Amino acid sequence: HAAFGVSRPWALAVASLALVNGRWKRRRAEPRCRTVGTAATAGEEGAARRVLVPVAQDSEEIETACITDVLVRAGADVTVASVEETLQVKMSRGLKVVADVLIAECKGQQWDAIVCPGGMPGAERLRDSTDLTALLKEQHSSGRITAAVCASPAVVFSAHGLLGDKATSYPAPKFKEIVGSSWMDAKAVVDGNVITSQGPGTSLQFALKIVEEMYGLGKAEELAAQL
């Protein structure tokens, strides 16, 4: 999996741990619309779920780490793909991450979930990747999971027509305006095959929600109790 550079203080992630631990069952009441069928149908029986996490220069490192860490713990086969010309990208707060592959190598493959971290202008670089755009649109039309956090629901998903009736994003006015009337003030929102979340401070809840949709509530609660 992707290699992370020298560690930095991750206060928001620690704060999220406190929010998650012992409180996962309360999240069952959070806003959602329809049920994603992935937990029962994704992939061959017994095969690891395949998750693609695209990254760019200035993607958000807490979000990227939470997504990859939690999904690997759940048993997913996570691939981190750079949308840049090089595998190594410098994240929004200076952390250097070496991706597994370039995004072009992911074309023509089937993914159980594609999960976009946020960060600016990283989200704009994800939005502008033609290879990623093609992957996201095919993923969405096939009914498989697409997920985005922070700026990416507004900057990436809205730009490519991937949002439905309900969504959230980083709660800055400019992003709320882009998402429009479908914007909700919630840590994570499930709308069909689309999962969205608000930012670094909700990244663990976001990742656990993806686990819930892919593997079921029991697996998400099991992981939450360990964090």
* Res. 25: pLDDT tops 90: no
> Residue holding tokens 């069928």?
37
CA–CA separation, 94 vs 24, rounded Å? 32
For residue 195, the model assigns a pLDDT of 98
- Number of other CB atoms surrounding residue 49 within 10 Å: 22
User: pTM of the predicted model, to two decimals?
Assistant: 0.83
* Res. 210: pLDDT tops 90: yes
Among the listed residues 66, 106, 116, 150, the single catalytic one is: 150
For residue 45, the model assigns a pLDDT of 54
The arithmetic mean of pLDDT across residues 127-149, rounded, is: 98
Return mean pLDDT, the chain: 87
Residues 76-131 pLDDT 10s: 999 999 999 999 999 999 999 999 999 999 999 999 999 999 999 999 999 999 99
For residue 47, the model assigns a pLDDT of 79
For residue 46, the model assigns a pLDDT of 66
Sign of the C-alpha dihedral computed for residues 217, 222, 225 and 227 taken in this order = negative
Q: Is 150 a catalytic residue?
A: yes
For residue 24, the model assigns a pLDDT of 47
Residue of 143, 80, 92 whose CA lies nearest to 116: 80
Q: Which of 23-32, 61-70, 140-149, 182-191 has the lowest mean pLDDT?
A: 23-32
Whole-angstrom CA distances from 148 to 6, 86, 113, 153 are: 25, 23, 11, 5
* Res. 2: pLDDT tops 80: no
Query: 29: which residues sit within 8 A by CB, 6+ positions away?
Result: none
Adjacent-strand bridge partners of 50? 77
Cis peptide before 121 (omega within 30 of 0): yes
Whole-angstrom CA distances from 46 to 77, 133, 174 are: 12, 29, 43
